[in-house]
Amino acid sequence: MDLYNLRTLLRLKIAERDERDFFFDGGFVDMDKFIQGLSAPYESLSSLFFATPYYEVVEESVRYLRSEQSFLKLEQQCEDYLMSFLKTTREIAAGPQPVIAYCLMKEAEIRAVRMVLMGKKNSLSAKLILDRLGTWHG
């Protein structure tokens, strides 16, 4: 839920909308942080999430959003965070978690291949494609 709420927060901010009904309860981060983020300036968003596991995601995403006017880094950072979390399930010996994580990681690999192929087909720069793919693919 938190990654969804982060995406929603930045999309609402860029659209200059102050609607609070789009956030979901149930994540690690208190809902008030997201609502407070709607009225906070971009420069203070990362400090608002400093005590959460999403500090680096917010910091890099906001920096890229401000400079490039694109959500590319946000999507890449959210996916990297999720993939690093899924990799921790390798340590679980029994249960459905490793199987589910394996399936989700395979789907992410397929998406990565599709992104590269579609990027090449649409003549996107290698930098743009690599920015979107992120670090976990390497």
Per residue in 43-100, pLDDT (tens digit) is 899 999 999 999 999 999 999 999 988 898 899 899 889 888 888 887 787 888 888 8
Average of per-residue pLDDT values in the chain: 88
Residue 38 to residue 124: CA distance in whole angstroms: 32
List the single range of 2-6, 8-12, 41-45, 127-131 with lowest mean pLDDT: 127-131
Half-sphere exposure of 51 (CA within 13 A, CB side): 4
